[in-house]
Amino acid sequence: MSADVGWGETWYYLLVGFGAAVGTYRVLTHVSEQAAQEAAHSQLAEAKRTRRNAWYGAPASTRRTAAAGGLDTQRIDALVHLALSADYRQRKAASEVLLDLAMRPNMLSLVLQTAGDASSPAMRLRAVTLLQALAPATARQRRLVRAGALRVLVGCMRSDDKGLVLRASTTLVEFVGHQDQEIASRYRRRAARCGLLEVV
């Protein structure tokens, strides 16, 4: 069985846990030309089963989290299915919807809270991975900064987990390396106030 199925299970479980926020990075990994092979019918059928099992096997608190976000799980399932499609246009359209859902205030707050929670390293890494997927869009950066993303990312850089530090620092570069120098300087100053200079 392809490793893609394992990723599908992981990302669908996260999607349930974060509401609609955490399917987006999974979408981005399927933009390559190999998507058609990765999304073969047998794999899609298996991925659908694992997604269904992930949902029904998830803790009740996780299901309540998704429900609290006002999210229709059938709609989410349909979006994830499209995100795994071999059709580039379907993947792109689904990814845009998932990214928009990820930026909902309640979902973004949950992602940032998870990214700042050192007690759950695996979930923390996945939350930062999602922030890494959201950060390149300059239109989203202001909202991410206002929500406290820089403080959370700087906090992640204090971790002993090299993988987490790498993802957090790569994500921070999207802000401090903004193409508009005035905005970049503003983000650098804010990151410095969060303690960036002490961890670099």
Give pLDDT tens digits for 76-86: 667 667 777 77
Output the CA–CA distances (angstroms, integers) from residue 181 to 7, 184, 186, in the order listed.
Answer: 37, 5, 9
pLDDT band at 182 (very low <50, low <70, confident <90, very high): very high
Give the model confidence (pLDDT) of 98-148 as tens digits.
Answer: 778 888 888 899 889 999 999 989 889 988 988 988 999 989 999 999 999
60 has pLDDT over 50: no
Mean pLDDT confidence for 82-101? 78
Q: CA-CA distance, 108 to 144, in Å (whole number)?
A: 8
**Which H/E stretch holds residue 108?**
helix 105-115
9 has pLDDT over 50: no
Same domain, 116 and 129: yes
Same domain, 54 and 147: no
Q: CA-CA distance, 10 to 50, in Å (whole number)?
A: 9
Domain range for 114 is 103-200
Q: CA-CA distance, 99 to 102, in Å (whole number)?
A: 5
Q: CA-CA distance, 83 to 158, in Å (whole number)?
A: 33
pLDDT of residue 10: 45
Same domain, 96 and 140: no
pTM above 0.75, yes or no: no
Q: CA-CA distance, 20 to 197, in Å (whole number)?
A: 34
Domain end among 46, 78, 101 = 101
Mean pLDDT confidence for 66-73? 50
Same domain, 58 and 47: yes
Domain end among 39, 68, 101 = 101
